[in-house]
Amino acid sequence: MMSKIKFHVIKGDTVKIIAGNDKGKTGKVLEVNRAKYRAIVEGANLVTKHVKPSATNPEGGIQETEASIHLSNLMVVDPTSGEPTRIGRKVNAGEKLQRFSKKSGEYITNNG
């Protein structure tokens, strides 16, 4: 069995995009694809998709949806300063490993 890889970004995090067409935008992570090392960020990397008419969507037409972004292009936003930060892991009061901001030292709680 393969061990579970720890990612610096998880669902519910607020992240800043540091590379690509949407560089500088911030948004909430909606989904993380662990197999492809990619994440979908709310309101970022919008692509147009042509949708055929169906029973649920009788109009069909063109919709804008978020496409995935590689995890290397994302940085977690520090909860105190609001700036992008690197992530570390340490034991918090005998509990499991928790993520913390390397910039401020604050623990990062997951809201997702």
Give domain status of residue 82, yes or no. Answer: yes
Give domain status of residue 59, yes or no. Answer: yes
Q: How many domains does the chain have?
A: 1
Return the beta strands (E) in 42-96 as ranges. 46-51, 61-66, 68-70, 74-77, 84-85, 87-91
Give domain status of residue 70, yes or no. Answer: yes
pLDDT in tens, the chain (112 residues): 456 778 899 999 999 999 999 999 999 999 999 999 999 999 999 999 999 999 988 988 999 999 999 999 999 999 888 899 999 988 877 778 888 999 988 888 876 5
Looking at the whole model, is its pTM more than 0.85?
Answer: no
The CATH number assigned to the domain holding 68 equals 2.30.30.30
Structural domain containing residue 25: 14-101
Give domain status of residue 7, yes or no. Answer: no
